[in-house]
Amino acid sequence: TPTLEYYSGYRAQDLHPLVKRLNFLLTYQPRDKLKAVRTKYSHRVFFEVAKVTPMDMLKLEEILKSC
């Protein structure tokens, strides 16, 4: 949103490379690494974000093009 862009100083398009890289790392990162971090962010206090599955790279690319 314009408000987020204003306060963060970033445009949505500026973040596209970061979003792609993070998704890639989540997709291909071995599960045995950073076990404590995964356990922590699997808790409901952190909205269980560690349990969210990474997005298909092609689908992510389509979504980012529409932004």
2-45 pLDDT, tens digit per residue, is 999 999 999 999 999 999 999 998 888 777 778 898 899 999 99
pLDDT of residue 28: 84
Report how far residue 20's alpha carbon sits from residue 7's, in angstroms, rounded to the nearest whole number.
22
How many independent structural domains does the chain possess?
1
What are 23's two structure tokens?
């998704």
Domain containing 33 equals 2-66
State pTM to two decimals. 0.70
What are 18's two structure tokens?
């970061």
* Sequence-separated (6 or more) residues with CB below 8 Å from residue 41: 48, 49, 50
pLDDT of residue 18: 95
pLDDT tier at 58, thresholds 50, 70, 90: very high
Contacts 24+ apart (CB under 8 A), 25-29: 26/54, 27/54, 27/57
Q: Are 12 and 67 in contact (CB under 8 A)?
A: yes
